[in-house]
Amino acid sequence: MIDMHSHILPAIDDGSRDPEMTLEMLEESYRQGITDIVATPHFYINNDNTESFLEKRNNAYDIIKGKISGRDDVPNIYLGAEVYFFNGISRYDGLDKLCINNSKYMLLEMPFKKWSNKVLTEVENIIFDRKIIPIIAHIERYLDLQHGTDNINNLFSLEVIIQANASYVNYMFSRKKALKWIDNNIIQLMGSDAHNMDSRAPNLGKAYDIIKKKLGDGAVTRINGLGKEILSI
C-alpha cells in the first residue's frame, strides 16, 4: 500500500528530527502494510528555492538510503515535495523539479485562509500552462476556511487530484464524511502526513483497514492503483 504524503526525511523540515527517527517511522509504516512511501518535505518559496531545496532533500535521502540498503522490512522511498501555494507559482521556473518522482504530479498545499479567485486561477494555470497536475494536500484542512463560498466545488471542477490524511478517516467524528468522499472518488489518494513518532506518527495502515472494512477491497485497490500510476510502479 502507498503513502503519498510524509515528512520522513531527517532534519529538512518540521518532520523527522534525525536518521534514527526516520528509521523508526519507516519501520512502523512497513509494519502497517505500507510498501511505498513518498517523502514530501515542505517547500516554502520564502525560505528556499528549488535548487537549494533539492540539494538538502537529496542529501537527507542519501543518508537514509545508505542506512536501509539491502533491508526488506522498510518501504521503498520516492521523492517529492509539499509545495506551499504562493502568488506567481504557475510562472515559477523551478516547479517541474518539485513534482513527485519526476512525474507531472505535484503535491500542493493550499493557503490556510479564504481563497480569492486569483488563487484558483493560479491552480488552473499550473494545469493548463505548465501541464502539471496538482495533488491537493489534505483537503480536509481547508473545508472550514472555505465555508460559505464555492471554492471547494470550483477546485473540484479543475483537473486536480484530491488527497486526504489518514487522520480524516481515523477520527471517529470525521470518518463518515471521509468515507463518503472516498466512495464517491472525490478523495482519490491517501497519505499519513507523518511528521514524527508521537503526535503525528505513521497511521495510514489503520485508515486503509477502515476503508477496506467499510467500502471493500475495491476502494483501497483504486487508491493504490492511482498511486502506482503516479509513481510508475
> Cβ closer to Fe ion: 124 or 193?
193
Q: Which of 3, 82, 122, 124 binds Fe ion (CB under 5 A)?
A: 82
Residue located via cell numbers 500500500: 1
> Cβ closer to Fe ion: 17 or 176?
17
> Cβ closer to Fe ion: 14 or 150?
14
Q: Which stretch binds Fe ion (CB under 5 A): 20-28, 55-63, 82-90, 122-130?
A: 82-90
> Smallest distance, Å, CB 132 to Fe ion?
18
> Cβ closer to Fe ion: 141 or 212?
141
> Smallest distance, Å, CB 12 to Fe ion?
12
Number of residues that bind Fe ion (CB under 5 A): 2
> Cβ closer to Fe ion: 124 or 139?
139
Q: What is the 3-state secondary structure (H, E, C) of the chain?
A: CEEEEECCCCCCCCCCCCHHHHHHHHHHHHHCCCCEEEECCEECCCCCCHHHHHHHHHHHHHHHHHHHCCCCCCCEEEECCEEECCCCHHHCHHHHHHCHHHCCEEEEECCCCCCCHHHHHHHHHHHHHHCCEEEECCHHHCCHHHCCCCHHHHHHCCCCEEEEEHHHHHCHHHHHHHHHHHHCCCCCEEECCECCCCCCCCCHHHHHHHHHHHHCHHHHHHHHHHHHHHHCC
3 touches Fe ion (CB under 5 A): no
Q: Which stretch binds Fe ion (CB under 5 A): 61-69, 81-89, 95-103, 214-222?
A: 81-89
Give Dmax over CA atoms of the chain in angstroms.
52
> Cβ closer to Fe ion: 36 or 82?
82
Q: Which stretch binds Fe ion (CB under 5 A): 28-36, 116-124, 186-194, 200-208?
A: 186-194
Cell of 40: 514530501
193 touches Fe ion (CB under 5 A): yes
Q: Which stretch binds Fe ion (CB under 5 A): 59-67, 112-120, 192-200, 204-212?
A: 192-200
Q: Which residues bind Fe ion (CB under 5 A)?
A: 82, 193
